[in-house]
Structure 1
Amino acid sequence: MPNTVPDGIYLHVVAAVIRDEVGNILLAQRPANKHQGGKWEFPGGKLEAGETPAQALNRELEEELGVTVLQAKPLIKVRHVYPERAVLLDVWEVTAFSGEPHGREGQPVAWFEPEQLPALEFPPANYPIITAARLPTHCLITPELAEDHAAFLQQLEQALRSGIRLVQFRAKTLSAASYLALAQDVITLSHSFTAKVILNSPPMMLENADGLHLTSRQLWQMPAFHRQNGQWLSASCHNEQELRRAAEVGVDFALLSPVLPTLSHPKAGGMGWDAFAEAVEAVNFPVYALGGMTRCHAEMARRSGGQGIAAIRGLWLEETQ
């Protein structure tokens, strides 16, 4: 949901998505006598006076888990208003630490695979974090197809071998029947690499797809979509108004563009990173930067509050040439 109360009213809390060497995520269980007691949560705690978020993260994880943070980067900020309090969760991804995590305050802790998280019970404010924790930094948008579908699948396989783990299958020139037939091949191939596939146009869901992507026009025109448990809904947005509409529709994540000028529209310019960061700050779901993106922009996207980058040319041609 958007930021609806002044920032000064939010309780500023840092939280950590802590990953081990194989990508499992550490969770802690809240004491039964505390707010949202008994539910799982991402470890952390509130900032103390004069602390930066990074300092608070280090202190809280040492106090709660007995670990020292060696490497961390921002992941997402989530604002949530409970009946009794408003919280700002400032979430960081911790990928290197020293020490053996354990519940120093007597709280149960456990490692979970990312795909196990949706089945657990969390405080409501944590659910956007689950999505951000499961999404990769790079989202590949497939280009329009030539006639040779076999060559397309071969290029897709090369991209998957390079590490792509989220594919938005976009092929607007195909008929609905041809699109859905090829989509099945894309899904089968991508799943063999443990990659997720989001379908984009026509707006219909396949049972074994991992989600559906809406254009900015479809955000305003289409009725609610029925999803299987675990399927994502994403959308293309170009301004804060469309991001707010995406929040109303209930998307899990969005692509915001154009951030930088693109080869296809070099004179159109882009909103730039400052405007991107401001727009992302107003919503509670992960947002990918789109438009003029290459792999080298992923770090800037994260520093600007984004999940990472989405691209066609920058992730498809780069890896398959």
Structure 2
Amino acid sequence: MPNTVPDAGYLHVVAAVIRDEVGNILLAQRPANKHQGGKWEFPGGKLEVGEAPAQALNRELEEELGITVLQAKPLIKVRHVYPERAVLLDVWEVTAFSGDPHGREGQPVAWLEPEQLPMLEFPPANYPIITAARLPAHCLITPEPVEGHAAFLQQLERALRSGVRLVQFRAKTLSADSYLALAQDAVSLAQSFTAKIMLNSPPVMLKEANGLHLTSRQLWQMPAFLRQNGQWLSASCHNGQELRRAAEVGVDFALLSPVLPTLSHPEAAGLGWDAFAEAVEGVNFPVYALGGMARRDALMARRYGGQGIAAIRSLWFEEGQ
């Protein structure tokens, strides 16, 4: 299992992404007289001596909001150095609780849709949490559209109906005109399901897409086409060095592979979950596990510090295909 001991010198703080039954997220506003006062934040607080993160989460949310945590799982860890202190934010996603959340310390609280979060002002350490809170647990990478545009879009619709809400559109064998035509249809279809879609190595960037995905080679080349305001940037990585390069470039999230052996590259040794966890510990953005992943492995990825899983076959084809 990954090492959960906090780095020496960091103030270990737990924070919660609390969701209601329709997916809204609860935020609290920091008192004006406190560090980063007046800004919105994810509720939580620092660990007491000898306290485990899950214990601290339960205690802090009862003290601050009057709720008892019934179901929670790790989401992301963020290390940030302010001029006055260094903090390790140990973030958990709370999906079930009892009680009526309210500001027990007089702080304003509000339920907001995930897409409203980027419009608010947060302490700097919170921004990777906003991305993690808006990303789903599964990322579909599309296969090449070898059977034609209509068949590709039909299969994409099946995947979206199965619950996929993040798509990386990859079609490197198409001409520029064909790519653009299919990409436009794929973006429109994905967004009709309120799913997000990233374009992998596009000949031209679409403002309607949710972002741009870089190959590991492009991480070092810095491509000429760049994302537009409000779009995400993601990247494919294969080791800790490439993840650190992705951090330098300023990605919002990354895919790390291969974690396990794959059907397409059975000769390639997977990193394994321990090495995946070690690499993820070194960056402050969400990372998906890629390579040999099934839909059910999303929970395993979370246990080892990941956002979830990315896959082609297990998310594209129906069970049994």
Q: Give the structure-2-normalised TM-score.
A: 0.96
- Paired residue for 1:309? 309
- Higher mean C-alpha deviation, range 273-282 or range 168-177: 168-177
Q: Distance in 1 between matches of 2:225 and 2:185?
A: 23
Q: CA deviation at 1:228?
A: 2.8
Is residue 47 from structure 1 mapped to residue 56 from structure 2 by the alignment? no
Q: CA deviation at 1:229?
A: 2.8
Is residue 198 from structure 1 mapped to residue 208 from structure 2 by the alignment? no
Q: CA deviation at 1:286?
A: 0.1
Percentage of identical aligned residues: 87
Q: CA deviation at 1:237?
A: 0.1
Is residue 121 from structure 1 mapped to residue 121 from structure 2 by the alignment? yes
- Correspondence 1:198-237 to 2 at 5 A: 198-202=198-202, 204-223=204-223, 226-237=226-237
Q: Distance in 1 between matches of 2:157 and 2:202?
A: 23
Distance change in 2, residues 1:43/1:132 (3 Å)? same
- Paired residue for 1:247? 247
- Paired residue for 1:156? 156
- Paired residue for 1:72? 72
Q: Which letter does structure 1 place at the counterpart of 2:233?
A: L
Distance change in 2, residues 1:209/1:38 (3 Å)? same
- Paired residue for 1:3? none
Q: Distance in 2 between matches of 1:49 and 1:279?
A: 28
Q: Secondary structure at the match of 1:146?
A: coil
- Paired residue for 1:101? 101
Q: CA deviation at 1:222?
A: 1.8
- Higher mean C-alpha deviation, range 87-96 or range 228-237: 228-237
Distance change in 2, residues 1:286/1:158 (3 Å)? same
**Matched residues, number:** 316
Distance change in 2, residues 1:251/1:319 (3 Å)? farther
Whether contact under 8 Å (2:176, 2:203) holds in the other structure is no
Q: Distance in 2 between matches of 1:63 and 1:11?
A: 19
- Paired residue for 1:82? 82
Deviations 1:140-163 (A, max 9, x none): 000011142101100100000000
Q: Which letter does structure 2 place at the counterpart of 1:12?
A: H
Q: Distance in 1 between matches of 2:40 and 2:224?
A: 30
Distance change in 2, residues 1:104/1:304 (3 Å)? same
Q: Secondary structure at the match of 2:154?
A: helix
Whether contact under 8 Å (2:209, 2:231) holds in the other structure is yes
Deviations 1:21-57 (A, max 9, x none): 0000000000000000000000000000111000000
Q: Secondary structure at the match of 1:318?
A: coil
Whether contact under 8 Å (1:118, 1:230) holds in the other structure is no
Q: Secondary structure at the match of 1:45?
A: strand
Q: Which letter does structure 1 place at the counterpart of 2:138?
A: H
Q: Secondary structure at the match of 2:318?
A: helix
Whether contact under 8 Å (1:155, 1:320) holds in the other structure is no
Deviations 1:164-190 (A, max 9, x none): 000000011011221111100000000
Q: Distance in 1 between matches of 2:72 and 2:18?
A: 9
- Paired residue for 1:298? 298
The answer for unaligned runs of 5 or more in structure 2 is: 1-5
- Paired residue for 2:59? 59
- Paired residue for 1:167? 167
Q: Which letter does structure 1 place at the counterpart of 2:52?
A: T
Q: Distance in 2 between matches of 1:160 and 1:78?
A: 30
Q: CA deviation at 1:278?
A: 0.3
Q: Distance in 1 between matches of 2:177 and 2:246?
A: 28
